Each structure stands twice: as C-alpha cells, then as structure tokens.
Amino acid sequence: MQVNASKTKEMVIGKRTITDASLFTPNCQPIDKVEELKLLGVWVSANLTWNKHVDQMISKATLRFYFLKQIRKASAPPEDMLLFYTSVIRSVSEHAAPVWHSSLTAEQQDLLQHV
C-alpha cells in the first residue's frame, strides 16, 4: 500500500507526550499536523470537544431551513415540507450522532435544540 502524504494528516489526541518529530514519514515527506480534521463528515478535534462539529451542523441546518421557508412560500403541501425536513435538514443534525452526541456539553445541546 502506498500512502499519499498530501492526503495524510497527523493528530495527537489527548496529552502530548510524543516529541514534535513524526514517527511515520512516507517517502521521507513531512506529514501535516492538525488540531482538527473532518473524518467521514464528522469534525474531530485533538481535545475531543465537538465545538467545530456543532458549529458546522448549525450552519448547514440554518442554511437548509432557509430553503424550507422558500418551499413554504411556494405553497408546497405539508407532506412535501415534512419530506424535505426529514431528508435534508434532520439528516444533517443526526449524522453520526452515536459518535458525538453523548459527549456534548449542555450548552451545545441547547444550541442544537434551538435549531
């Protein structure tokens, strides 16, 4: 297997006990060290807080609510509006919820409930 160094990221989760030198360097190319990365649609941070992920979800859901309002203004039937909500808006707010939802703070839960 060949590793693509331009697509490979390094993130140390938890306490930093490893030196700044990377242990793995494919083809002697440096690997970018990141504090946050998007993995399968979920933003993961090195300190395992979900601030970035929650912010991104709220941003996406708010934008999609705008389109729901436009559908309502177009006098769409309630069934179509419900279908749009469940398939386009709710899917964003529940994507990979078993991974991140149990470790949200009360403030983050309130923000999501507000949306």
* Tens digit of each residue's pLDDT (9 = 90 or more) over 17-32: 656 555 666 666 777 8
> Does residue 40 lie in a domain region?
no
In-domain check, residue 18: no
Q: How many domains does the chain have?
A: 1
Which phi and psi (to 5°) does residue 30 adopt?
A: -70, 150
Is the pLDDT at 43 greater than 90? The verdict is: yes
Average pLDDT in the 72-79 region?
A: 92
Name every residue whose Cβ is closer than 8 Å to that of residue 25 and which is 6 or more positions away in sequence: 5, 31
Residue 78 lies in a domain: yes
How large is the average pLDDT for residues 4-27? 70
Position of tokens 């649609």? 41
User: pTM of this prediction?
Assistant: 0.75
- Is 78 in contact with 20 (CB distance < 8 Å)? no
Q: Is residue 109 part of a domain?
A: yes
Domain assignment of residue 62, given as a range: 50-114
- DSSP letter (8 states) at residue 95: T
What was the pLDDT predicted at 69? 93
* Reported confidence tier of residue 81, pLDDT bands at 50, 70, 90: very high
55 within some domain: yes
